[in-house]
Structure 1
Amino acid sequence: MGTYLRTWREAVTPEQAGLPAGTRRRTPGLRRAELATLAGISVEYLTRLEQGRDRNPSAQVLGALADALGLSLRDRMVLRRLVKEADGGDPLVCGAAPPLSRTPRATVRAVLDHLEPAPAVVLNWIGDVLAHTTGYARLFGPVGVLDAEHPNLLRHLFTDVRARDAFPDWDREADNLVAQLRHDVPLRDPYAAELAEELMVTAGAEFADRFADLATAPRRVGGQRVEHPEAGPLRLLHETLALPDDGQRIVVHLPADEATAAALDRLNGRHPGALRAVGRAG
Structure 2
Amino acid sequence: MADNALGRFLRARREATTPPDNERRRTPGLRRGELADRAGISVEYLTRLERGTDRSPSGQVLAALADALDLTADERIHLYRLIKADNTCAPPPPPPLRPTVLATLDALEPTAACVLNPAGDVLACTETFRTISGLNDEPNLVRFAFSPEARAHYPDWDTIANDRAAALRAAADLGDHAATVLAFELSITAGAAFTDRYDAAASLPPTTGTERWGRHVVAFETLYLPGEGEHRLVIFFSQH
User: What is the TM-score of this pair, normalised by structure 2?
Assistant: 0.84
Q: Give the counterpart of 2:217 among 228, 235, 243.
A: 235
Alignment of 1:173-192 (within 5 A): 173-184=160-171, 187-192=174-179
Q: What displacement does 1:130 show?
A: 1.1
Instruction: State the SS of the aligned residue for 1:188.
Output: coil
Counterpart residue number, 1:53 = 53
Instruction: State the SS of the aligned residue for 2:119.
Output: coil
Counterpart residue number, 1:138 = 131
Give the Cα separation in 1 of the matches to 2:30 and 2:204. 40
Counterpart residue number, 1:12 = 17
Q: Give the counterpart of 2:121 among 125, 128, 132.
A: 128
Provide closer, same or farther for how the CA distance between residues 211 and 102 of structure 1 changes in structure 2, counting only shifts above 3 A: farther
Counterpart residue number, 2:143 = 155
Runs of 4+ that moved beyond 4 A: none
Counterpart residue number, 2:237 = 254
* Letter matched to residue 204 of structure 2: A
Q: Give the counterpart of 1:119 among 91, 112, 135.
A: 112
Map Cα deviations across residues 182-218 of structure 1 (whole Å, 9 max, x no partner). Answer: 2246832322222222222222222223333351321
Instruction: State the SS of the aligned residue for 1:44.
Output: helix
Map Cα deviations across residues 254-281 of structure 1 (whole Å, 9 max, x no partner). Answer: 123x2xxxxxxxxxxxxxxxxxxxxxxx
Provide closer, same or farther for how the CA distance between residues 163 and 84 of structure 1 changes in structure 2, counting only shifts above 3 A: closer
* Letter matched to residue 189 of structure 1: D
Give the Cα separation in 2 of the matches to 1:102 and 1:129. 13
Give the Cα separation in 1 of the matches to 2:136 and 2:111. 17
Instruction: State the SS of the aligned residue for 2:205.
Output: coil
Q: Which has the larger radius of gyration?
A: 1
Contact 2:132 2:213 in 1 (8 A): no
* Letter matched to residue 2 of structure 1: G
Contact 2:171 2:179 in 1 (8 A): no
Counterpart residue number, 1:62 = 62
Q: Which runs of no fewer than 5 residues in structure 1 stay unpaired?
A: 15-19, 228-232, 259-282
Q: What displacement does 1:127 show?
A: 0.8
- Aligned residue pairs: how many? 234
Give the Cα separation in 1 of the matches to 2:50 and 2:172. 35
CA RMSD of aligned residues (A): 2.6
The sequence identity of aligned pairs, in percent, is 49
Contact 1:102 1:130 in 2 (8 A): no
Counterpart residue number, 2:204 = 217
Give the Cα separation in 2 of the matches to 1:210 and 1:27. 38
Q: Which runs of no fewer than 5 residues in structure 2 stay unpaired?
A: 1-5
* Letter matched to residue 35 of structure 1: L
Provide closer, same or farther for how the CA distance between residues 42 and 185 of structure 1 changes in structure 2, counting only shifts above 3 A: closer
Map Cα deviations across residues 116-148 of structure 1 (whole Å, 9 max, x no partner). Answer: 1111111111111111111111212xx3x1314
Q: What displacement does 1:29 show?
A: 2.4
Give the Cα separation in 2 of the matches to 1:157 and 1:32. 34
Contact 2:172 2:180 in 1 (8 A): no
Instruction: State the SS of the aligned residue for 1:113.
Output: helix
Instruction: State the SS of the aligned residue for 2:101.
Output: helix
Counterpart residue number, 1:277 = none
* Letter matched to residue 147 of structure 1: D
Contact 1:104 1:122 in 2 (8 A): no
Map Cα deviations across residues 133-190 of structure 1 (whole Å, 9 max, x no partner). Answer: 11111212xx3x1314xx11112222x3111110122221122112112224683232
Alignment of 1:47-126 (within 5 A): 47-83=47-83, 101=94, 103-126=96-119
